[in-house]
Structure 1
C-alpha cells in the first residue's frame, strides 16, 4: 500500500527528488541508457569493443583509461544496469583495504542469490600495489567483474598482474561535435540562454573535451545571465573571464603560447621566455608538459654548444617532481633563463634529420666486414672483424684512415658544428680529424 500523504515514505521520496534537482547539471544529464551516451564512437559504435561487450551478455574486467569528464563512471554504471548486476563503487582517493573487504563480502552475498556484481574503482592508479593485489583472487575466481577508471597510463600505474586480467579501453576527450550535442542537451534541460557561434566555440575550447566541465560551466553561466536570451562572446568573457584564461590543452591558444616560449628561448630573450612561461602556468598548463618542452629545446636549439643545458633541463624536471607546485616552478623559471642565455646550435638537430633522410631514401648497405661482430669461431672464419684497428692502440687514440661508413659513402658528412659555445672547440677537433682521415686516404 502506498504511503499516506505526509508519511515518512513520501517525505523520503520528496527529499530524494529535491536532492536530484539540486545536483549539478552534468550529474542530472548523466546517461541512463547506452544509446544516450554522446561520443566514444570508437568504443561504442556498431561492432566496436564496448558495444560488443554490452551486447554479449557477459561482462569482462576492464580498465577505462581517459581524461576527466569523458564518461568512465557512466559506462561502468550502464554496464551494471545492462547486466542487472550489483554496482559497488570505491574511490581510491578515499578508500582502502577495508572498502575492498566490504565489497568482497557484498559480492559474496549477491553471488549466493545468483546475482552478478561489478566493483568499480575510481582513480584506481591511486591504490598502492598491496591494495591492487587484493582484487586479484576475486577477479580470478569470477566473484565480481572489476572495472577500474584512471586518468593515468595504466602501463605504469596499474600492477601487471591486475592489468593482465583486465582489458584496457582508451576513452578520448569529447570532440567538438559531441560537445555541441551536450551543450544543446544542457540548454534544453535548463531552458537556458543560447550562445552565439563565437561564444559556443570559446566555451567548448575552455571545456577541453571534458563534458562535466562544459555542462557545469554552462549552468554557472546561465545562472549569472539569467533572463538573457542569447549570450555573445563579450558577455561570456565578462562573466567567466578569469576561468576562461585557463585555455584548453588542445586549442590554438595553447600551441601559440608554447610556440612563443620556444621561439623566445631560441632567440635568446630571457624576458620574453619568462613571460610566456608564466602565461602558460597562469593558463593552467601542467608544468610537466612545459619541462618536457624545455628538454626538447635543450637538444634542438642548444645542443653541443652548451651540453650543460640538457643536464639543467633534466635536473629541473627531477626537482619539480620532488617539490611540486608552486615551489618547483622556480626551478623551471631558472631553467628557462639559462636556456635563453645559452649559446645556440641546431647542428645536432640538423645532422640527425639529414641522417634520417639519407637512411630513408638509401638502400640497406651492409656493415663493412672489419666492423662486424665476431663472437663465434665460424664468424671469425668468415672474416668478421678482420683488419679492425683498435683506436686506443693508435697514435692520439685515432685510427686515421679507418673506414666506418658503408662502402659507397666515403666522404659523406651529416654533422657541421657551428662557431658558438663549446662547438667552436668541437668544430676545431672535427676539422683536424677529417683532415687526418683525408690525408691517410690519399
Structure 2
C-alpha cells in the first residue's frame, strides 16, 4: 500500500493522522507502562490471549480505544465497537446477535462500548446477561468515574483499569514516530521540529495523544504551505505553532472527572491554608473555561465549612465576591473571587459549625419526633396559655447578665446535647470561652435546685 492510499479508508474518506498512527501491536503502543509492563495483570491477560471483561477509565487521548483493539487483535477475537453517545438498545441487540453468529463458529467477540458512562441503566442492563453468559467479552471506555456512572451489576463483572495522561516522554515518542513513519505518518514530507517547539507542542497537548497528533498534522500542513527549502524539507517553527495553537486548549471537562478533581484541589488548598495553591487551581479552572459563578458559590461553601465562626468575616468576603462577579463579570469579578480565596486560605480555620450541623442532622433523622417543651412553645391564644404553652419561660433579657441560667431548650426525652464544639483558634476561641461560662452558670443553677 502506498502512503497516499493509506490516507483514505474504503469509502475514500480521509483518515486523520491520529487514527492512522494507531499501532498494530503492543510493542508500538505508547504509554500506560503501569498497566502493560511485564508481569502486570492486564499484560498477563493479553499475553495469555484470555481477555476478560474490563473498563478503561482515563482522560481523552490516552489510548483506551487503541488498547481495546489491540486486545481483540492479540486474542484473535471478533471486535464490535459501539458508541454510547449514538447507540441505543436496538444497536446493543444487533451487536449481540452478531456476536452469537461468531460464537456458533467458535470465535470469541469483544464488544467495545466507547463513552460507556453515557448509557443509562436500561441500556447497561440490556447487554449485561450476554456478558454473564459469555456471548461477549465487554470492554468499556469512560472518561468519568465508573463508580458514579455505571451500575453495580456491571461494575461487579468488569475489572477497572485506570489510564493516565501521557507523559512528556511518551508524547515526544509519538511525535518522532509520526514524523518518521513514511507509510502511515508524515515521514514522506521531511518535516522537522526543534526541541523548544516540540516542548511547546507537547505542553499544548496536555497529556492527550490524539490532540497532539491533530496539532502536529495541522502544523505540518501550515509549514508545507510556506515556501519549501532547497532540500524539499519543512520546519515546524514557533510561528507555525502559534498559528496552530490559536486558543487555550487546556483540558477541563465541565461535568467530568477533571472538573471535580480541580474543584477538590482548590477547596483543599484553601483548607490547607495555602493561598498560592488556591490561586493556581483557580486560574487553571478559569483557563479551562469554568463558569466563575460556580467557583464563587463553592467559595461561599468553603467559608462556612472550613472557616466558620473562627472568622465570620470570611462568609461576608465570599458573598461580596459572588456579588461582584454577578454585577461586573470578567475580569473584575474574577479578581474579587481571587481575593476571597486568598482571604479564606489565610484565615483561622474551624469546621466546628459543619461538624455540629452534621451531628445534629444525624440525630434528627434517627430520633422520634420529640415534642417541644411546654415552656418554650409559642402561646398566641388564650387556649394555648390555659394549656401552659409558654408557662414558666424566663425571658433572658430580664435575667442577670441577659442569661436565664439553668433554662433548658432540648426536648425533655432527648436531654441536653453539645453538637457545636468551638476550636481554640480565631474568634471561636472567644466563643468557646463564652459557652463555657454559660454552661458553668447552668450547672451552678441546677446544683442550687438540687
TM class by smaller structure: 0.5 to 0.7
Shift of 1:86: 1.1
Q: CA RMSD in A?
A: 4.7
**What TM-score do the two structures reach when normalised by structure 2?**
0.63
* 2:118 maps to 1:126: yes
Q: Which residue, out of 179, 191, 203, partners 1:187?
A: 179
Structure 2 partner of 1:80: 72
Residues in 1 aligned to 2:84 and 2:155: alpha-carbon distance in whole angstroms: 16
C-alpha displacement of 1:80? 1.3
* Residue 89 of structure 1, CA deviation: 0.8
Aligned position for 1:89: 81
Once residues 113 and 211 of structure 1 are traced to their aligned partners in structure 2, the CA distance between those partners, rounded to angstroms, is 37
Q: Which string of whole-angstrom CA distances, capped at 9 and with x for unpartnered residues, describes residues 339-395 of structure 1? A: 847995668754579xxxxxxxxxxxxxxxxxxxxxxxxxxxxxxxxxxxxxxx963
Unaligned runs of 5+ in 1: 1-11, 250-254, 317-326, 354-392, 405-412, 419-425
CA distance in 2, matches of 1:174, 1:207: 9
Q: Are the equivalent residues in 2 in contact too, given 1:69–1:210 (CA < 8 A)?
A: yes
Return the offset for 1:417: 2.2
- Asked if residue 298 in structure 1 is aligned to residue 303 in structure 2, the reply is yes
After superposition, give the CA deviation of every residue in 1:278-335 in whole Å (9 maximum; x if it has no partner).
9954x3344599569736753588643157569969x99xxxxxxxxxx9x9799979
Count of residue pairs the alignment pairs up: 342
- Pick from 267, 283, 288: which aligns with 1:284? 288
SS in structure 1 opposite 2:79? strand
Cα pair distance change 1:59/1:222, threshold 3 Å: same
Change in CA separation of 1:19 and 1:50 when aligned onto 2, cut-off 3 Å: farther
Deviations 1:102-160 (A, max 9, x none): 01111111111111111111101101000000111111101110111100000010111
Match of 1:145 among 116, 137, 145: 137
Provide the C-alpha distance between the structure 2 equivalents of 1:57 and 1:295, rounded to a whole number of angstroms.
Answer: 53
Structure 1 residues 77 and 161: CA distance shift in structure 2, 3 A: same
Distance 2:318 2:408 in 1: 28
Matched position secondary structure for 1:173: coil
1:162/1:247 CA distance change after superposition, 3 Å: closer
Counterpart contact for 2:115–2:143, Cα < 8 Å: yes
Matching residue of 1:321: none
Q: Residue 408 of structure 1 aligns with which residue?
A: none
Looking at structure 2, the residues matched to 335 and 312 of structure 1 have their Cα atoms a distance apart, in angstroms, of 13
Q: Counterpart of 1:246?
A: 249
- Structure 2 residue runs of 5 or longer lacking an equivalent are 253-261, 353-403, 410-415, 444-450
Aligned positions of 1:368-383 closer than 5 A: none
1:430 to 419, 432, 437: 432
